[in-house]
Amino acid sequence: MGCTCNSNDKEKLFCSGVLVENRPGAILPPQEAWENKKGGYVIIECPQRIPCNPCATSCPTGAVKPFADINDVPEIDYEKCTGCGLCVAKCPGLACFVVDLTYGADEAVIKLPYELEPKPVKGQKVKCLNRVGEEVADGEVYAVAEPLKDQTTVVSVVIPKKLVGEIRAIKVVC
């Protein structure tokens, strides 16, 4: 199903910091390296200058470059990204994701933040949502990382590889 947002809705969402479609502001990995990177690479969709920096301070490898100013937008050194997902758990804006393209020929794994209850469990079928909350595919939970203090649960989901640029959330169907 295509997006039913009109251009005004999209602009309002974008102005509130939500990337409603692929457009400048998303940080994407270099495609060739990404296709063969076991564990995946981070994607950060945080295009606006806001006073926030846990993505940088939580990254254990320095892949999110240190901010000179807390209002900086994140920059990534992809040679340092391990795909660990710590930034996914720490980002208060739910703007960090990790995508591993090596899972299968037609499937990928996305690590995404999940704040709702009930939490999904490994093996559970879920609905995959695009940036505006529309169901675009079925997915299967691959892993659930319980959060440490002040962190968000990170759920790994097997999704269709062709939709890695669209899927950014899941809906748990009980």
Is residue 61 involved in binding ligand SF4 (CB under 6 A)?
yes
Would you give the binding string for ligand SF4 spanning residues 81-110, x where CB under 6 A is met? xxxxxxx---xxx-xx-x------------
For Cα atoms 104, 91, 173, give the angle at the middle one, nearest 5 degrees.
55
Handedness of CA 23, 18, 163, 62 (dihedral sign): positive
Cβ of residue 18: shortest distance to ligand SF4, in angstroms?
Answer: 11
46 contact partners, CB below 8 Å, separation of at least 6 = 17, 25, 27, 55, 73, 74, 91, 93, 95, 96
Which one of residues 10, 18, 54, 157 is an interface residue with ligand SF4 (CB under 6 A)?
54
| Residues 28-47 close enough to bind ligand SF4 by CB under 6 A | 42, 44, 46
Number of residues that bind ligand SF4 (CB under 6 A): 26
Summarize the chain as % helix, strand, coil (round to 5). 15, 30, 55
Q: Which residues of the shown chain bind ligand SF4 in the complex (CB under 6 A)?
A: 42, 44, 46, 52-55, 58-59, 61, 63-64, 74, 81-87, 91-93, 95-96, 98
